[in-house]
Each structure stands twice: as structure tokens, then as C-alpha cells.
Amino acid sequence: MNPLKSIGGTIIAGIVLAALIVFFLPGDHIVAGVPAKSLVIWLHVLAGVTWIGLLYYFNFVQVPALGEAVADEGGPGGAGITKYVAPRALWWFRWGAALTWLTGATFLYLNGMLHHAFTLGLMGDAPNPYATTIGIGAWLGTIMLFNVWVL
């Protein structure tokens, strides 16, 4: 029984391997200082790569391929892509977006920065440049998540 023969098994194996690396290898790879925070960062990066990778796929591969498939009079057309490939890719795209946002918000929460980030570091006694920077990213991610799930 090889877990790498299915998508789910491959993802689970990757997460388990990442967790083993984070928790059991010595060194400075736990940049967050706490293994739970480090694991959240790993999941955030994994989900973000999935989300943005699929965005590149849609923009650079699927859309041009559909245009060519529709223009090909003797070919199969775009039905195969729109019926089988696109729904699966969109499912991963949407959940990649959701997991990216949730893990990012979780990391900010664990660091006590969630409120400061979403107020761009301007609501405290003194401006917080880190909260402003990470807050811009958090707001851009929120807008992008809204675009994926609502629009």
C-alpha cells in the first residue's frame, strides 16, 4: 500500500514529513521559536504555493488551452477540460486560498498580532511598522480570498 499513489495520500505524507522535520531535526529551522507556530508557517507556505501555483495554471495553461480547443474545428473542443479538469482544479484552488488565509490568520493570532495587523498597526500608542507591513499582506490576502470565494 503506497500512499503516494493518491493525491490525498501524497498530501498527508508531505504534511507528516514536514512535521517530522520540524519537530525532530535539530537546528535553526524552527524560526518561530515554537514548534506549533513553525508548523503553522509550513502549512501556510504549502497552502500558498498550492493556491498561487493553481492561479498560474489557470492564467498560463488552462485559459489559452481552452481558447485553442474551442478554435480547433476537428478536435474534441474544450468539453474535456471544462467537465473534468477545471472543477477539480477550482476545488483545490478555493481550498488552497481558504487554508492559506486561515493559517496566516492563525499565525498572527498565535503571535498576538491579528488585531494589530488588520488595523495596520495604527491603533496602538505608537505606529507599529511590522504590523503595517504584515497587515497590508493580510488585507491583500483577505481581498484575494473574497475574490476566490465570493466573486
What's the rounded Cα separation, in Å, for the pair 71 and 100?
Answer: 36
pLDDT of residue 30: 54
pLDDT in tens, 30-45: 555 567 777 888 889 9
Tell whether the torsion through CA atoms of 64, 66, 69 and 70 is positive or negative.
negative
Between CA 99 and CA 104, with CA 101 as vertex, the angle to 5 degrees is: 105
- The CA dihedral of 143, 46, 131, 144, to the nearest 10 degrees, is -10
pLDDT in tens, 88-126: 999 999 999 999 999 999 999 999 999 999 999 998 778
| DSSP result, 65-134 | HHHHHHH-TTS-TTHHIIIIIHHHHHHHHHHHHHHHHHHHHHHHHHTT-HHHHHTTT-SSSS--HHHHHH
pLDDT in tens, 46-82: 899 999 999 999 999 888 888 888 888 887 778 888 8
Residue 16 corresponds to which cell in the numbers above?
A: 507528516
pLDDT of residue 31: 55
Contact yes or no for 42/10 (Cβ under 8 A): no
pTM over 0.85: no
